Amino acid sequence: MQAVAVQIRPFETRDYDAVAALNNVNFPEFTSSADEIRYDDEHRPAHCRWARWIAECDERVVGGAQYEQYAGAYNPRKFSIQIAVDPTLHNRGIGGRLYAALIDGLREFDPISMNAMSREDMFCRVAFLQHRGFREEQRDWSSELDLDSFDATPFRKYVDSMRSKGFVVRTLADLLANQELDERELFDLWVEVQDDVPSPPSMDRTRRTFEDWRTRNLEHVSLFPEAYFIALDGTRYVGTTQMWRAPEKECLRTGLTGVRRAYRGRGIAFALKVVALEFAKQRGYGRVDTENESRNVGMLSINERLGFVKRPAWVHYVAEWSAASRA
């Protein structure tokens, strides 16, 4: 196909709506509103580098690219990249121009590697990455549950069993309303669960600060306190599952689900999921989305029992800088 003449320029705040639209059509399982992207940009930790570029054609935004670093997977010389192009203009040279801008922008940091993602059936994106030296290192299953067909009745016995063992389920909204939330205890639970979530081998796991966790959890624009469930053993927070608001009003997105190591094998995670899904159905939502790493057999089996249906997998890719920067 014939190349398209585009102008590559740095991102400006007026571009948030266009960036959200590009993100949502290129990464449909990871949709974001303009407000979510803006919030995340404004609350990035100071040590995590990031930048974004825009591709314009006839004064219309037709592509975007960014590099970034994450507080929970921080290495000063490792970066994640993302390129999104208007699907009607794929294979017209826009992605290549944006990739070149990324490479030029990263050189000053002396990178050693870059990470990227593609859905397995997005063959154009997969070929784009492979051509530039990226190789697969992890697969995540994206799954969805149609709440119209979900019936919690056969699963309520697991919730009853959990409660009969003395565990109590409360929501973040309830704890906040009664001024009973122990933020440090919730953070400690989150850290213990998050530490056991599989991640790509090339990513360096680093501990988030309490302040960063609070900003990206308890203060986030997508927070849904009534859908944030916590299992307690007395005053001890022992398990959690959350559902977050999505740009699609009929959908909720599953966040972190898990239980402290000492409490695993007691059916707490499964019961929490049942409680959360029944809440979503009662509130009139039509769908719940979730993602799980392909090696996370325990959580995948829970979701399958509940009726979640797998969609095409999202693949994590990594490339050594020495190869990717020459492509």
Percent of the chain with pLDDT over 70: 99
Give the distance from CA 205 to its chain's centroid. 16
Q: Which amino acid is at 235?
A: T
pLDDT, tens digit, 9 for 90 and up, residues 190-229: 999 999 998 999 999 999 999 999 999 999 999 999 999 9
Q: Tell whether the model's pLDDT for residue 327 goes beyond 80.
A: no
Question: Do 179 and 7 touch, CB atoms closer than 8 A?
Answer: no
pLDDT, tens digit, 9 for 90 and up, residues 240-262: 999 999 999 999 999 999 999 99
pLDDT band at 3 (very low <50, low <70, confident <90, very high): confident
pLDDT band at 1 (very low <50, low <70, confident <90, very high): low
What is the architecture, at CATH level 2, of domain 7-111?
Answer: 3-Layer(aba) Sandwich (3.40)
Q: Tell whether the model's pLDDT for residue 177 goes beyond 80.
A: yes
* Distance of alpha carbon 190 from alpha carbon 197, whole angstroms: 11
Which is nearest to 244 in space by CA: 199, 280, 209? Answer: 280
pLDDT, tens digit, 9 for 90 and up, residues 71-85: 999 999 999 999 999
What is the architecture, at CATH level 2, of domain 143-310?
Answer: 3-Layer(aba) Sandwich (3.40)
Residues forming CATH 3.40.630.30 domain(s) in the chain:
7-111, 143-310
pLDDT, tens digit, 9 for 90 and up, residues 114-166: 999 999 999 999 999 999 999 999 999 999 999 999 999 999 999 999 999 99
Instruction: Return the number of other C-beta atoms located less than 10 Å from residue 294's C-beta.
Output: 14
Helices (H), the chain: 16-26, 34-42, 94-106, 123-131, 156-164, 172-177, 183-195, 210-216, 268-282, 297-306, 321-324
